[in-house]
Structure 1
Amino acid sequence: MSQYVSELAVSLNQADEDQLTQKHFKKISVDLNQGDGENRVFIWYKNGNKSITRIQLTHMEDMQGGLNTANYTKIEKNLNPDKAGKPINLWSFQGPLLSDIPIVEIDVTADPHNEASKFRDGWERMACDLTRVSTGKRVYLWMKRERPTYICEVQATDSFVNDTSLFQNGFIRMDENTNRGTGGAYVFLWYRHTTGYKEAIKDLQVSIKKEEYDSFEQSSFERVTLDLNKGTGADPAYLWFKKEGSDPVQTLSVIIDPNAVALYEAAKVQVIKKNVGKSFNNLCFYR
């Protein structure tokens, strides 16, 4: 039997579940709705010979254009049917590039106690909460790939003009706006994978003060040029990366739950304790 995750689906009710079971899909038994509302929402997957290599999430119309043009497959069912706001949808892609490493397992968590250890076991976490709640339990999708991967390049965008090009060149968008809730620009971070140790990024930092900016600039760090706080009125925040060092960065994500920080740090996740935007929004990475 094939080890690859080849298809994704979403169920919103028992009829959906029965239909997907008949089609030999497997259910991840964590309700995305967490009992809040009429629907029980589950993610399903099927194994096959051709693997999904990238998964994205959209929660606003402008996020969809680049995915459509780059031929991603949209899972039409809304992950957030019982709450107000715009639909939240999953997208998948089966890529041919060297950076497209097959996904062999997926999982869902709704408790930070169950999340932190997954980094150690080689899992990659989607940056955005699947339901985008502001309080209560946050639900995240995790992926495990066929072999170890490292991050070799990071970028940032404040518009959607270059989305298609970035997707076509193998980048993965972190689908959580660093300025969420601030009224600033829609700023998204992007990263690209490699299986090569030497070309991997070895360290990541964020500057929010001039003295930090100067220090990183003098310490062999390179700067991602876009201000992560653009349009918020807050002091500029920049992401910096370094390719010198010994331990390659395997995964990059964001923490918006203050209660998760200590748990992540206990699992040796590097938490950059500098709020990006005007709310609690800390980048984190594992190496």
Structure 2
Amino acid sequence: MSKYITLLLGCTAEVYYVLFFNKILTHFFSAKNTEESKMANGQQITKLNVSTSKDEEEILGAQGYQFINVNLNQGAGGNQVLLWYKKERGNRPVTRIQFSFKDNMKSGLADAGYELVNKDLNAGVRGNHIFLWYFYGSTEFDIPIVNLQLTADAKEEPALLQDGWERLGCDLNRNAGGNFIYLWVKREKLSYICEITASVDFDSDKHLFELGYTRVDEDTNRGVRGNNIFLWYRCTTDKHKALTALNISTSLQEEAKLQAEGFKKLSVNLNKGTSGKDVYAWHKKEGRESQIQAMLLLINSKAWNEYQKAGINFVEKNLNDGNNGWKIYLAYK
């Protein structure tokens, strides 16, 4: 009898051991994938649209679109402009979203295969004619978008950035007055910035889009005569390819210091064509203590303090240093 009891106890102990071991494994893999599972908190976005009237709202609602309850003309008057989206199983996911606010920003997008939503986001108000474009990409740099959010207050922004959201570059009230309104995207998987570049005109747009770059839709020469300068970035899901730091130089002394610290300089002067100082962006991949997930150009003075209070990397070098253009600062996480 004692032999059977011993055997039974041995089996019971073995079962408990297996259950305990499985629980540890489950916890380990669950913790490992927490960030990515947080990203994939919805189906993929498959279509985008915009309404500028009540009639259009009714039509899009009847077609199965959902809207984000933020007026893209908030604070500026004009039409109520709403952003709409669809999540459809089995359809291609949207992987990149861009905006155009100059006519010569459009050709590169169209030639690269972006879909145009032909509705002015500044309908009924003064300001730039802003149009939304979206893309179904299949490069290694295209990561499906699963959620969208809009902000109309700088105080809302740092928390979203820290929660894995990516802010797109264009103020959707650009030159219309009113609130600074930005579209944010959340991707299916945690992503990192692996490369940055800059352009001095629109001739290279098609090529850069085809290479998987996203354009930061804000001119670093905003408010001053000069070249139309834009920063660009590419995303990856491989953290080992991620950039680890960004910086800005406005003098030869700063260039020498950053070079000694292992930074690499972009060749484009972000002040090109103006009377201001030579301004360059720098990046590096050395060190693995932190990987950059997002970078932003901050033009809203209220945002500068909010980002710094939240502990987000804020480079205190004005990209329009030495001229009368808008004060623009680089931030990244």
Q: TM-score, normalised by structure 1?
A: 0.96
* Matching residue of 1:190: 232
What is the distance in 2 between the residues matched to 1:133 and 1:67?
22
* Matching residue of 1:276: 319
129, 146, 161: which one pairs with 2:171? 129
Give the aligned CA root-mean-square deviation in angstroms. Answer: 1.4
Structure 1 residue 86: Cα displacement: 4.2
* Matching residue of 2:196: 154
Question: What whole-Å deviation, never above 9, does each CA across 1:18-69 have from its counterpart, x for those lacking one?
Answer: 0011011111000011153341011010002321000000000110111111
Q: Is the 8 A contact 2:72 2:121 kept in 1?
A: yes
* Matching residue of 2:8: none
What is the distance in 1 between the residues matched to 2:233 and 2:214?
5
* Matching residue of 1:110: 152
SS in 2 for 1:240: strand
Matched, 1:10 2:53: no
Matched, 1:70 2:117: no
Identical amino acids, percent of aligned pairs: 38
* Matching residue of 1:30: 70
CA 1:134–1:274 in structure 2 vs 1: closer, same or farther (change >3 Å)? Answer: farther
In proportion to residue count, which structure has more helix?
Answer: 2
Question: What whole-Å deviation, never above 9, does each CA across 1:123-168 have from its counterpart, x for those lacking one?
Answer: 0001110121375410000000001100010000001111111100
CA 1:147–1:191 in structure 2 vs 1: closer, same or farther (change >3 Å)? Answer: same
Moved over 4 A (4+): none
Structure 1 residue 80: Cα displacement: 0.4
What is the distance in 2 between the residues matched to 1:14 and 1:192?
38
310, 317, 324: which one pairs with 1:267? 310
Structure 1 residue 271: Cα displacement: 1.1
What is the distance in 1 between the residues matched to 2:312 and 2:185?
17
Structure 1 residue 265: Cα displacement: 1.9
SS in 2 for 1:4: coil
What is the distance in 1 between the residues matched to 2:182 and 2:256?
36
In proportion to residue count, which structure has more strand?
Answer: 1
CA 1:75–1:272 in structure 2 vs 1: closer, same or farther (change >3 Å)? Answer: same
* Matching residue of 1:39: 79
Matched, 1:227 2:269: yes
Name whichever of 276-285 and 117-126 sits farther off. 276-285
